[in-house]
Amino acid sequence: MTAISILIRVIDRQSEGETLMTDQLRWTFLFFLVTVALTSSHSNARAETNQPNFVVIFTDDQGYGDLSCFGAGHVSTPRIDQMAAEGMKLTSFYVAAPVCTPSRAALMTGCYPKRIEMATGSSFGVLLAGDRKGLNPDEVTIAEVLKTAGYTTGIFGKWHLGDQPPFLPTKQGFDEFFGIPYSHDIYPYHPRQDHYNFPSLPLLENEQVIEMDPDADFLTRRITERAVSFIQRNKDKPFFLYVPHPIPHAPLHVSPPFMEGVSGDIVATLEKEDGNIDYRTRDKLFRQAIAEIDGSVGQILDTLKSEGIDENTLVLFTSDNGPPKNTLFASPGPLRGHKGTTLEGGMREPTVVRWPGKIPAGQPNDRLMTAMDLLPTFARLAGATLPTDRVIDGKDIWPTLVGNAETPHEAFFYHRGNQLQAVRSGNWKLHTNKGKPTQLYNLHDDIGEKNNVIKTHPNVVRRLMGHIKAFAKDIAGNSRPAAYVKDPKPLAKSTPVN
C-alpha cells in the first residue's frame, strides 16, 4: 500500500466517525505521510531520468583467446564469463591500434590515432618516460564529455598518454587518478636497460608522485581497491570509472592470494630475483595473472550490486591490443597475428559488455564495433553533447548493442604507426603494402586470415581500395596535432608535478 493510499484510507475512516488518534497525533501522522508521498514521487521521477554509470575495464596485451568465454582452455575467467552470460560478447570489437599508446588515445578521444598525431611516441612506437609528447589538452576526452553532463570521473591503473604535467589524467577530464603513467616495464629492470636507460617507475595519486618503483605484485590489488572505493563514494551520482590494468603485459605480477597452486620451483626462482626480474619465469604466471584480473572484475561487479546501482551501470571489459609475439601462454585464439600487427590478432579484442535490463543477456554480437565508439555512445546515454568543431571517428553503437541495427561503420581502418595497412568493410578485409593491395579475406568464413582470395574478387578489391584512398585524403585534410613540452624530465618523488 502506498503512502498516498494510506493517507486516503485514514481520512475516509475519520469522516465515518472512527476515533483513531488524537488531533495532535493525527496531524503529525498526516504530515509524515504527505512527506513520504512527496519524497517517493520525487525519487521515482529521479529514477526515471537517471543517467547511467559507466565502467570501462581495459587490460594490457590480452589476446582474443585469453578469456574462457572466448574459448580459452589455458585460463579460467568465471566472473567475466558470468558477465558475458548476463550481458553480451562482442566478437568483432576492435581497438584502433595494435600497441598501447595509440590504442588508448583512440579510446579516450573517439578518433583514429593518426588523426590526432598519437600513432607513435616522439621517438618510439609508444610514449616513454620523460617523453616530450602527449595527448593534446585541447582534445576532448570521454571524461571531459561526461563531465559536461555532471559526471564524476576516475582512472585507476595505467595511463600511457603522456607523463609530463600537462598530459596527466587530471588535466584531461579525470577528477581522480591513482596509478602509473606508462607501462610497468619502463623501469630500470627492463631486459634491455643497457639500451634504454629507463628511470625508476613512479606511482602517482592525482598529480603527486607518492612512491618510486612500487611493488608490482600488489598493483592490481591496489588498483581494484581504489576502483571499489570510487564506486562506494560516488554511488549517489553518475560516474565514469576507467580501470586500465597494467597486466597481463610482461613482466607478470600477481598478489599472494592468486599464487596458490604455483609450483615450488617457480616460487623459489622468483624469490631469488633480487631486483633482476626473471621475465621468462614470470611468463608462467599467466593463468594466475588472468585469474587476478577476473577477480578484480568480480569485485567491481559485486560492489555495484551491494551499493544498489548494478542495474544502472554499463560495464565493458576489453584490452588495448593483442598478445605479444613469442609469448609462452597469451593467445590470439583463432586469429592470426599478434601485438604490433594489423592482422586480426593484433587489433580484434575479447570484449564483454553488461547492463542488466538494457543490453540483451547471453547473446553474442558479431557486428563491427570499436573502442572509438564508446565516446559518442556514452555521450548519447548520458545526455551529453559532442563537440562539433572536430572530426570524431567513433559512432553511436547503442542501436547495434540493443537492437538489430547493423554496424554504423561503412569501413574500419587498420594502422601500424602512421601506416594505413588494411581496411575492413562488411565481411571483407583487404591488406595493402605501400599502397598496393596484397591480401583479401572474407572474415565471416575465414576469421584466421588463411585463405587469400584477392585474385578472385577484383570488384571487392576496387571497392575497398576506394575506401582507403578516401580515408587517407580525409585524414590528410582533417587531422590535429599532439602536444609537446620543452625540456621534459622523468617524474621522480621530489618532482613538483602540479
What 3-state DSSP class applies to 2? coil
Query: Residue 23 pLDDT > 70, yes or no?
Result: no
Q: DSSP readout, 66-110?
A: -SGGGT-SS---HHHHHHHHHSEEEEEEE-S-SSHHHHHHHHHHS
Confidence bin at 16 (pLDDT 50/70/90): very low
Per-residue pLDDT tens over the stretch 242-263:
999 999 999 999 999 999 889 9
Mean pLDDT, the chain, rounded, equals: 91
Query: For residue 450, what pLDDT is reported?
Result: 98
> Would you call 160 a catalytic residue per the annotation?
yes
Rounding to the nearest 10 degrees, give the CA dihedral for residues 317, 369, 332, 125. Answer: -90
Single-letter amino acid code for the residue at 110:
G
Query: For residue 495, what pLDDT is reported?
Result: 62
Q: Which of 42, 69, 100, 253 is catalytic?
A: 100
As a residue count, the chain comes to 498
Q: Which of 111, 160, 245, 415 is catalytic?
A: 160
Lowest mean pLDDT among 124-138, 357-371, 407-421, 482-496: 482-496
Query: For residue 42, what pLDDT is reported?
Result: 35
Query: For residue 425, what pLDDT is reported?
Result: 98
> Would you call 100 a catalytic residue per the annotation?
yes
* Enclosing H/E stretch for 293: helix 286-306
444-471: average pLDDT: 98
The pTM of the full predicted model, rounded to 2 decimals, is 0.90
Query: For residue 497, what pLDDT is reported?
Result: 60
Query: Residue 240 pLDDT > 70, yes or no?
Result: yes
Do the beta carbons of residue 60 and residue 322 sit within 8 Å?
Answer: no
Per-residue pLDDT tens over the stretch 119-169:
999 999 999 999 999 999 999 999 999 999 999 999 999 999 999 999 999
317-345: average pLDDT: 96
468-486: average pLDDT: 97
